[in-house]
Structure 1
Amino acid sequence: MDRLEIKAQFAVTEDGTIEGLASVFGTPDRGGDVVHRGAFAGASFPIPMLASHDQKDVIGVWNSGEETPEGLRVKGQITVSVQRGREILDLIRAKAMGGLSIGYMATSKTPRRGGGRDLHKIDLFEISVVAIPMHPGARITSAKEHPMTEKTETPDIAALEAKMADLEKKADTTALVARLDKLEAKANRPQGGADDPKEPTAERKAFAAYLRLGDAITAEEQKALNQSSDPQGGYLAPAELSSEVIRDLVEFSPIRAVADVRGTTAPSTIYPTRGDSTNARWVGETQARTASTITFGQKEIAVKELATYVDISNRLLADAPQAETEVRSALAEDFGKKEATAFVSGEGVLEPEGFMVNADIAYTANGHAANLSADALINLMYAMPATYRNAGAWAMNGTTLATVRKLKDGDGRFLWQPSYQAGQPEMILGRPVVEMVDMPDIAADAFPIVYADFKAYRILDRVGLDVLVDPYTQRTNGMTRIHATRRVGGGVLQAARFRKLKMATS
């Protein structure tokens, strides 16, 4: 809410029906604010009736309201069937609670000369029965059977001010007024009443020092920030900063989007392979036939395991609920990047076998150690059998792709062709391009480009990312240990469906 104002006069009946002026138009309240007619044009009823703006103290409902020349006149019902409603009704009759206060947000306002604001448009959230009104004219006029003032019509403002002053002299309301002033001041500050940003908390000062100096901050500043030991959780940002986490961009090669991905329940999978063709020949009627030998082999793809754990302080988990979510997100990003890198260049022992390290994949020489040759790319593509070539795609990193986009054929036409349709990839020599950040850069003796039918690369998922939260084993240290495991395998099934471009040795 922007502010909680007391600007009202109302009447009640025995059954709790209540009518009143929730806001007075045209005259300033004690804070200098003036509400103008039309400010409540968009008000929607019914709205809650509260006691002293306590959301836990609902005493009824306002059923209707309309703007009149003097202000916003409302009608509602105190719930007298519950004890709290009867108590409030008795306090109104005893003149202990004599005003209405609106809870609202000012959506159109201008500053007034000398202080205060002109309020032209207001979003009304609730109207409360209160003891001390903000506006001198916001007083209860009558309760029909129990008169509250001498008149039920709009009261004389000057007379009401005099009565209010007399009442304040008789009753010591200093502490209550001071508390209301404090609440009003906080409600008018940015951030919904947060501490004055001109006077930062000790935690905010210490955090600012940590951002500037790192671990060189003083012992007092460390005490203001430290929620756990530095290697095991570090410093917790002040509450007003910890709700947002700035994340670095994590890029990884989209191998899964183009490869053949399968699930498995075994630690490895064996694929039978067939080598030679038969030795069939054309023969005459009585000519001897020749024998054929077919060799069979097998290709095994073993499932590998990727694992780690993170210790995080229990206090940090309690004070920053998003901390565990961020840990899980970081694990998923790291595991995704690590496995994508392994699919490209994994050594095949502890990691999956990357297609760039498979010794059976042939290559085409570029002929130069630093400059890409357009002719070499054409030679590479057409060195593959037509069936594989027509299903293939190029793979390279962004730096290499930038170089390829500048290449032209002998007629001055670019080899690279842009995509003119949403969702369709870019093309080189009529075949799509997949940008893979884990591919090597152009350098002497490097393999910066591969052309392949990537369905010949098999990925086996044994276990998805398994995250286990262990709050017990490290509890004596005030920590929770979060374990993460991923079991996945990968390997080239048919090397003939891949071909690499090799830069010359300098």
Structure 2
Amino acid sequence: MIPVVETKSTTHDVASAFEDFARAFEAFKDTNDTRLGEIETRLTSDVVTDEKLTRIDAALDDAKKRIDRFMLERSRPPLGVTSDAPRDPAQAEHKAAFHAYMRSGEATGLKRLEEKALSAGSGPDGGYLVPDTVEREVLQRLSGVSPIRAISSVRVISGGQYKRAFSILGPASGWVGETAARPETGGPKLSEMSFPAMELYAMPAATQTLLDDSVVDIDRWIADEVESAFAEQESAAFVHGDGVNKPKGFLAAPTIEDEIWEWGRLGTIQTGGATFPATNPSDVLVELIYALKAGYRQNAAFVMNRKTQTAIRKFKDAHGQYLWAPPASLGQSATLMGFPVVEAEDMPDIALNASAVAFGDFKRGYLVVDRAGLRVLRDPYSAKPYVLFYTTKRVGGGVQDYAAIKLLNFAA
């Protein structure tokens, strides 16, 4: 009898969603064990078993999506409550002026404040800075929704780009006797990395009726509207962006087989074909893990999309234990061989020449650069009777340590 995996889509109880997820995984393991037993005895699995496993796997993904959504909603800080009101008089003045601009288009207060602060780019050409509380809310939401941002290093800058020097070889050193002559050491070989901040925009629309309603929380409304638009664009760029008017994703970095790895390229492990090997498929994952130096493995994580995770869920070790494990508690990630699994839907599917799995310490390996300031320009003319809000932020990104990330490439 096919086990029924319950899904409580009508409830917002996170605990219930987590229980659904746990039950779905137990049903998945039982059904997959049955499938493996059929393959061992008959060299093939039953079609009914395969279909059943596919349905349970889909239910498992749906339960995980609900948990992620509930946890994200719970983590959002309230914007409209009294405790969030700015305590600094200057911030309170900025917030009041911003609300007046958003609701009625009155920009006098914002112009005066930004002229007083000597802010560049203010006015009709560049829009106006949103209050700090709104900017913090948007960035916090992006950290929860954008998977690569959540595991990477983030730097806030005031200029147009972030530059950092790094040593390719490092200074020469060695052992020497107490009274022996000290030969002069060679100097470090330095180079420079540059991370420009590119403009990302969204254009939410509102009716004047909504803006005139004093009960509507303008701060929360603008954060809600730009969250998904910014997160979607960011997530894609951090994975495979080409660096042209957008951040450069880690999959856009040059690659080289890990045996001959050199700085400036990401090392790759080859699977030997367009899919995982038919026998001992998890061996390539072990090879991927140990391609990373020990200092990076301590904080490493797997990055892949849901389809790839579906294939890996079926893998077992030599003792019959599943290598993929569900989150131990709410708010935690699933694990693979003891390392967290980060779901990034912009990662490619398993296919020939695709790097469908990444493994590494992204805190050290990938850098996200945010230019301080989120700007809004009110446009009541272009889409009458709606009011458009051209909202922009500047963000950049790129690989900063090529030794910290390894890729699993599905190729011979």
What's the TM-score once normalised by structure 2's chain length?
0.54
Quickly say closer, same or farther: Cα 1:478–1:426, change in 2 above 3 A. closer
CA drift at 1:425: 2.2
Alignment partner of 1:422 is 2:330: yes
**Residue type matched to 2:309 in 1?**
L
CA drift at 1:281: 4.8
**Residue type matched to 1:341 in 2?**
A
Equivalences for residues 305-344 of structure 1 within 5 A: 305-309=199-203, 329-344=224-239
Per the alignment, residue 188 of structure 2 pairs with: 294
CA offsets per residue over residues 193-221 of structure 1, 9 Å max, x none?
Answer: xxxxxxxxxxxxxxxxxxxxxxxxxxxxx
Per the alignment, residue 487 of structure 1 pairs with: 394
Quickly say closer, same or farther: Cα 1:315–1:411, change in 2 above 3 A. closer
The size of the alignment, in residue pairs, is 252
CA drift at 1:381: 0.5
CA distance in 2, matches of 1:383, 1:316: 55
Per the alignment, residue 382 of structure 1 pairs with: 290
Quickly say closer, same or farther: Cα 1:252–1:345, change in 2 above 3 A. farther
Per the alignment, residue 451 of structure 1 pairs with: 359
RMSD: 3.2
Quickly say closer, same or farther: Cα 1:478–1:419, change in 2 above 3 A. closer
Per the alignment, residue 355 of structure 1 pairs with: 250
CA distance in 2, matches of 1:274, 1:298: 9
Quickly say closer, same or farther: Cα 1:480–1:419, change in 2 above 3 A. closer
Identity of aligned pairs, percent?
Answer: 33
SS in 1 for 2:231: helix
CA distance in 1, matches of 2:180, 2:222: 77
CA drift at 1:255: 1.9
Quickly say closer, same or farther: Cα 1:417–1:282, change in 2 above 3 A. same
CA distance in 2, matches of 1:392, 1:277: 24
Alignment partner of 1:468 is 2:377: yes
Per the alignment, residue 502 of structure 1 pairs with: 409
Structure 1 gap segments, 5+ residues each: 1-250
CA distance in 2, matches of 1:330, 1:418: 32
CA drift at 1:329: 3.4
**Residue type matched to 1:260 in 2?**
S
Quickly say closer, same or farther: Cα 1:291–1:351, change in 2 above 3 A. same
SS in 1 for 2:369: strand
**Residue type matched to 2:299 in 1?**
A
2:311 equivalent among 403, 406, 420: 403
Alignment partner of 1:262 is 2:262: no
Preserved contact between residue 146 and residue 231 of structure 2 (Cα < 8 Å): no
Alignment partner of 1:303 is 2:197: yes
Equivalences for residues 23-172 of structure 1 within 5 A: none
CA distance in 2, matches of 1:339, 1:288: 51
SS in 2 for 1:356: helix
CA distance in 2, matches of 1:387, 1:459: 21
Quickly say closer, same or farther: Cα 1:276–1:465, change in 2 above 3 A. same
**Residue type matched to 1:482 in 2?**
F
Quickly say closer, same or farther: Cα 1:291–1:316, change in 2 above 3 A. closer
CA drift at 1:315: 7.8
SS in 2 for 1:495: coil
Equivalences for residues 435-450 of structure 1 within 5 A: 435-450=343-358
CA distance in 2, matches of 1:350, 1:482: 21
Relative contact order higher in (CA < 8 Å, ≥ 6 apart): 2
CA distance in 2, matches of 1:481, 1:424: 38
CA drift at 1:353: 1.2
Equivalences for residues 112-261 of structure 1 within 5 A: 253-261=146-154
SS in 1 for 2:239: helix
**Residue type matched to 2:271 in 1?**
N
CA distance in 2, matches of 1:323, 1:424: 31
CA drift at 1:496: 0.5
CA distance in 1, matches of 2:294, 2:385: 63
